[in-house]
Amino acid sequence: MTELKNDTFLRALQRQPVDYTPVWMMRQAGRYLPEYRATRAVAGDFMSLCMNPELACEVTLQPLARYPLDAAILFSDILTIPDAMGLGLYFETGEGPRFKKTVRTMADVDALPVVNGEHDLTYVCDAVRTIRRELNGQVPLIGFSGSPWTLATYMVEGGGSKDHARAKALAFDQPELMHALLDKLAQSVTAYLNDQIRAGAQAVQIFDTWGGALSHNAYQEFSLRYMKKIVDGLIKENEGRAVPVILFTKNGGQWLEMMADTGASALGLDWTTDIGAAKARVGDRVALQGNMDPSMLRASPKRIREEVATILARFGNGPGHIFNLGHGITPEVDPANAGAFIESVRELSMPYHQK
């Protein structure tokens, strides 16, 4: 493999000294970029774009051509695993992802296969290999998956949901059924992420988008337990380097200590958690990633710079911080504002890393 020219992101994930705070953005390849919209139009629709390794590579690299980012993230979707399990993923305009089939009985769970990335999601692994080749060592590549609980909510509900009422009811009333589903998903996510690592992903992130909708005890039982199982089963080293794992539970700031106990390298923070307080709680055990409110990118460049300065000051001196948004960048953001954000992080973070 080509030697990595910029490993700042990987070093920060392992809390090693760096010259500045590395930065990337969740959904950094997306609809706010006109070049992305043009490529998606060529593909025809979102899933056709995801399933074309060359076009997925093209959009993965687009933000790197604009901005001095410190990582690329695979362009894909968290719902590829349920789709590979045969549920029939499709997208309704204005309604988000939907499934043709749902999972609500033990017979439904028993019928689901355990997904193998190279066999069942070949297009994802091919995209990882293509992106690594085209990156040519510029920055590291992040692979990812949805968490078992997050995937399960979509599979039970049949799509997105505001309250996840059906999934929660199933978990509370028929926990053995939910655990059977989550166990099968944990096996699939572990295999899927390991196949991404073998294909060239140099770090991986688990997106637990809906874990924060659970109560304290339910989070431990139905979400965290299975993410720990995944972390335990992941490849720890590849190409002579450690492969860091980032856990991101949206609205999960109250569980940081338990998340750190999973053995993850880093924890993603949404904007509702103060990063200084998070560092005081767990910062000597894991790196922290985050956590500017994505809506701040709709403010002026001056205001964006002020917010970046505030977050950097709250984290303070030393390694172990990867700057990011607290969730994905939104479609209406001006690309120039995203650029101002990234430039502010690079410039303002350097004094925090001086020896």
Q: Collapse the DSSP code of 272 into the 3-class scheme (helix H, G, I; strand E, B; otherwise coil) and give the result.
A: coil
pLDDT score at 1: 57
Catalytic annotation, pick one of 77, 83, 120, 270: 77
Tell me whether residue 154 is one of the annotated catalytic residues. yes
Q: What does the block give as tokens for 66? A: 């604009």
The span from the CA of 259 to the CA of 173, in Å, is: 26
Catalytic annotation, pick one of 11, 27, 104, 132: 27
Q: Is 229 exposed, middle or buried (0-12, 13-18, 19+ CB in 10 A)?
A: middle
- pLDDT tens track for 195-219: 999 999 999 999 999 999 999 999 9
Q: Give residue 92's pLDDT band: very low, low, confident or very high (50, 70, 90).
A: confident
Checking if the pLDDT of 120 tops 80, the result is: yes
Q: What is the pTM of this model?
A: 0.97
Residue 96 pairs in a beta bridge with 92
Checking if the pLDDT of 51 tops 90, the result is: yes
- pLDDT tens track for 59-69: 999 999 999 99
**Percent of the chain whose predicted confidence (pLDDT) is above 70:** 100
**Which CATH architecture describes the domain 8-353?**
Alpha-Beta Barrel (3.20)
Residue 325 phi/psi, 5-degree rounding, is -80, 165
How many angstroms separate the first and last alpha carbons of the chain?
A: 32
Checking if the pLDDT of 139 tops 80, the result is: yes
Checking if the pLDDT of 93 tops 80, the result is: no
Q: Collapse the DSSP code of 287 into the 3-class scheme (helix H, G, I; strand E, B; otherwise coil) and give the result.
A: strand
Catalytic annotation, pick one of 32, 36, 154, 226: 154
Domain regions of the chain by residue span = 8-353
pLDDT score at 98: 93
Question: Pick from 131, 129, 21: which is nearest to 73 by CA?
Answer: 131
Checking if the pLDDT of 12 tops 90, the result is: yes
Checking if the pLDDT of 330 tops 60, the result is: yes
Q: How many CB atoms lie within 10 A of CB 232?
A: 12
Extract the annotated binding site for substrate: 27-31, 77, 154, 209, 327
Q: Which residues contact 231 (CB under 8 A, 6 or more apart)?
A: 206, 245, 247, 262, 263, 264
pLDDT score at 95: 73
Tell me whether residue 15 is one of the annotated catalytic residues. no
Q: Which residues contact 311 (CB under 8 A, 6 or more apart)?
A: 275, 291, 292, 323
Question: Pick from 274, 351, 277, 273: which is nearest to 318 by CA?
Answer: 351
